[in-house]
Structure 1
């Protein structure tokens, strides 16, 4: 059909998916070409719809639309993988041979062979400049990626074929400066005495542990709490992102009855029962048969980013969220996901030695933002999975879903983690350290009024803070009937001064 007959028609991914009868995860950019008018854009909820003038129309051929995709729509490995399953090898070969040195044709060629594992009947290139698989100005990439001499492409992707996340350099992430975040941490640290920081660390470990369990509405016993804290203490020293360490970590933090000795072998999902034999499904995990390969890919991706000078926040988001979406264990996945954030931020030296970020506390305070970061992947994924539930609630996934887990766009999760880390540094850490510093000053002021045991001073401050800086008559008679009115008044004033409580 002649394009002039239509007001506008889809181009790029939209054209290819429609032509091949494919569905996929929603892409952040959709293109149309109009028979009239100028270029116009519509931005809504983080997605962009561009309508281009007629001169942009690439034609009817698949190769031309694939080139259009890389120029205007951006790289979506999951959609490309599905398109490459359907494309005619002869047509693709003809397109690549028609532009043997073109950077977009070479990228299409590289991505085809990377994603399918098949080789096209095209001779290796023997000359020409190398180009990056992903444009570093548009995507987060590894530095010093390996060179594919066949395509004269530098593979700077964040992972291998079996698990390769993509993160776009959005306007929000453009503000992400790891050196600046670290400096803000160091400025906070140097503002407090070492002894206070040592005490704060113990408190922050407790807070992070409590928050991580509380997000999942779990009240752990003292033993499980202690085991989680011990693991957090190791997070800044050891790399936990390998199979044996992850299993060991899972065994430490779950109820002993639910320890796993390997990745799960059953189909998992996250849902809630609303009536007898009626479930609302929130998230469907990958098939057990796909899990080994996906987890090997995730661990390889972690190693690749670790040496590839990738921003610590992008690295942590890709691996930690990737982990929870793969859901490799029967229990404990959420806590391990949040643990991995600490582990990676520490290994990549965003967090200064001797400090930890209570990121879970910030997630707990901002549940809508945390849920949105999970649902950005889980909600659209549900539309792509065919499944059935038996009367026992056992799920069977009936279609091939592996590629949606292999090639996640982790931009939304990276943006969310950047917000959580920033809030942790600028609000949570400052708040906790200020509280402890004020506590020390208040305690000293009370000791100058009356020399009583630390236990009672701590209790007095706690009771006053719960009652706007004053001790209630009932609490006074129960715990502090030995104080004179003058001592009580002076001590209450010390608490108010220490915590800037109004009179």
Structure 2
């Protein structure tokens, strides 16, 4: 069909998916080429649609559109692997041989062999400069990636073939500076005395534990709470992202009846019952048969990012969200996902020693943002999975789905985690430390008025704070009838002064 008779025509991924009758996870960028006019761009809900003038039309061949993809649409490994499954090897080989030193042709060649595990009948290159698989200005990448001499490509991807997330350097993430975040933490730490920080740490561990369980509407008993806190205390010293440690962690934090000794062997999903034998499905986990390879890839990806200087926020988002999307256990996946955020940020030294970020508390306070970070992957994924439910609620997935979990675009999750961590540092952490500092000052002021047990001082401050700086008549008669009117008035004023409360 002649391009000139068309107003506009899909190009890049849109052209290839249409031509090959393929579906896939929505891509952030869609291209069209118009027979007339100039370049136009439309941004909506985090996606970009570009309409290019006719001189951009790549032609009719698959290779030309794959080159267009790498130039304008960006790298989507999940879509590429689906396209490579359909493309003619002969056609691809001919295209690559026609541009033996072209960087885009070499990248296509590298991605084909990396993703499919098949080798094209092309001789190894013997000369030419090395180019990165991903442009470091556009994507987060590992430093000092392996050199593939066959393609003269540096493999700077974040993971192996079995689990390789991609994170784009968006405008929002351009503000991400790990050293700046750490400095802000250190500035906060130096503003408070060491004794207060030690007390705050204990309180923050409790708050993080309570918040992480509360997100899932769970009220843990004292034993499970203590076990989770103990694990959090280890998170800054030990790497939990390996199979045995993850199983051990799962066993600690779930009801003993739901402990796992290995990854799950049944098809799992997240849903809610709305009527008898009627489920609304929110998320479908990978098939059990795919899980072992996916989890091995996730752990290898973690080690790769840890060793090769990837931003702690990007690293934590890719692995922690990757973990919850793989859902390797029957129970406890959400809590482990949030635990891994702490573990990785501590290992990567974003969090100063002796401090912890109550990130779950911020997620709990911003449920819509947290849900959106999960649904950015889970919602479009549902459209790609063919499944059936039996009368017992057992699910069977009937199509191949592994590639959508192998090659996730984790940009939305990275942006969300960056927002959560920033709020944790600038709001949650400051509020908690200020509260404790105010408490110490208020407690000392009350002790100067009357020398009473710490338990009663704590109770007095709490009751006053719950009543805008004053003690109610009922609470006074039930707990503090021994106070004179003058003592009560002076103590209430001490609370108001300590916490800037007005009558």
Q: Note whether the superposition's TM-score is higher than 0.5.
A: yes
The answer on 1:128 being equivalent to 2:125 is: no
Where 2:266 maps in the other structure, the secondary structure is coil
Deviations 1:436-457 (A, max 9, x none): 0000000000000111111111
CA distance in 1, matches of 2:502, 2:476: 21
Cα distance in 2 for residues equivalent to 1:480 and 1:279: 54
Q: Distance in 2 between matches of 1:235 and 1:185?
A: 18
Look up the SS of the partner of 2:357 in the other structure.
Answer: coil
Distance in 2 between the 1:227 and 1:307 partners? 29
Aligned to 1:456: 456
Listed one character per residue, the Cα deviations across residues 444-473 of structure 1 (whole Å, up to 9, x for unaligned) are 000001111111111100100010000011
SS in 1 for 2:409: coil
CA distance in 1, matches of 2:448, 2:32: 75
What SS does the aligned partner of 2:16 have?
Answer: helix
CA distance in structure 1 between the aligned counterparts of 2:477 and 2:28, rounded to whole angstroms: 64
Q: 1:480 & 1:216 partners in 2: Cα distance?
A: 38
Cα distance between partner residues in 1 of 2:345 and 2:41 = 37
Query: In 2, Cα distance between the equivalents of 1:97 and 1:375?
Result: 42
Distance 1:239 1:89 in 2: 42
Aligned partner of residue 50 in structure 1, secondary structure = strand
Structure 1 residue 153: Cα displacement: 0.2
Cα deviation code 1:30-69 (max 9, x no counterpart): 0000000000000000000000000000000000000000
Equivalent-residue separation in structure 2 for 1:66 and 1:109 (angstroms): 11
Alpha-carbon distance in 2 for matches of 1:479, 1:35: 82
Q: Which residue of 2 aligns with 1:104?
A: 104
Deviation for aligned residue 1:235: 0.2
Q: How many residues align?
A: 503
Comparing 478-487 with 210-219, which one deviates more in the overlay? Answer: 478-487
2:351 aligned partner: 351
Shift of 1:502: 1.1
Cα distance in 2 for partners of 1:395, 1:474 equals: 56
Q: In the alignment, what sits opposite 1:369? A: 369
Q: What CA deviation, in whole Å up to 9, does each residue of 1:66-102 have, x standing for no partner? A: 0000000000000000000000000000000000000
Q: Residues 79-138 of structure 1: CA distance to partner in whole angstroms, max 9, x if unpaired?
A: 000000000000000000000000000000000000000000000000000000000000
Distance 1:477 1:42 in 2: 66
Separation in 2, partners of 1:401, 1:326: 12
Find the counterpart in structure 1 of residue 65 from structure 2.
65
TM-score between the two structures when normalised by the length of structure 1: 1.00
* Post-superposition CA distance 1:178-214 (Å, at most 9, x none): 0000000000000000000000000000000000000
Displacement of 1:318: 0.0
Q: Distance in 1 between matches of 2:16 and 2:452?
A: 78
Q: Distance in 2 between matches of 1:277 and 1:423?
A: 41
Distance 1:314 1:502 in 2: 43
| 1:201 alignment counterpart | 201
Matched residue of 1:147: which SS? strand
CA distance in 2, matches of 1:129, 1:45: 39
User: What CA distance in whole angstroms lies between the structure 1 residues aligned with 2:181 and 2:109?
Assistant: 39
* Unmatched tracts of structure 1, length 5 or more: none
- The residue number in structure 1 matching 2:115 is 115
CA distance in 1, matches of 2:475, 2:392: 54
Structure 1 partner of 2:90: 90
- Per the alignment, in what secondary structure is the counterpart of residue 171 of structure 1? coil
Tell me which stretches of 4 or more aligned residues in structure 1 moved more than 3 Å: none
What is the alpha-carbon distance in structure 2 between the residues aligned to residue 461 and residue 43 of structure 1? 51
Alignment partners' CA distance in 1, 2:46 and 2:448 = 58
Q: After superposition, what is the alpha-carbon deviation per residue over 1:230-266, rounded to whole angstroms, capped at 9, x for unaligned?
A: 0000000000000000000000000000000000000
Provide Cα deviations, 1:121-172, integer angstroms capped at 9, x if missing partner: 0000000000000000000000000000000000000000000000000000
The 2-side partners of 1:451 and 1:218 are apart by: 40
2:16 and 2:224 mapped to 1: Cα distance? 52
Deviations 1:282-321, CA, capped at 9 Å, x for gaps? 0000000000000000000000000110000000000000
Where 1:357 maps in the other structure, the secondary structure is: coil
Q: What is the CA deviation profile of residues 335-383 of structure 1, one whole-angstrom value per residue up to 9, with x for unaligned ones?
A: 0000000000000000000000000000000000000000000000000
Task: Say which SS state the counterpart of residue 172 (structure 2) adopts.
Answer: helix
Kindly state the Cα deviation for residue 228 of structure 1 after the two structures are TM-superposed. Answer: 0.3
Instruction: Kindly provide the CA deviation profile for residues 2-56 of structure 1, in whole angstroms up to 9, marking residues without a partner as x.
Output: 0001000000000000000000000000000000000000000000000000000
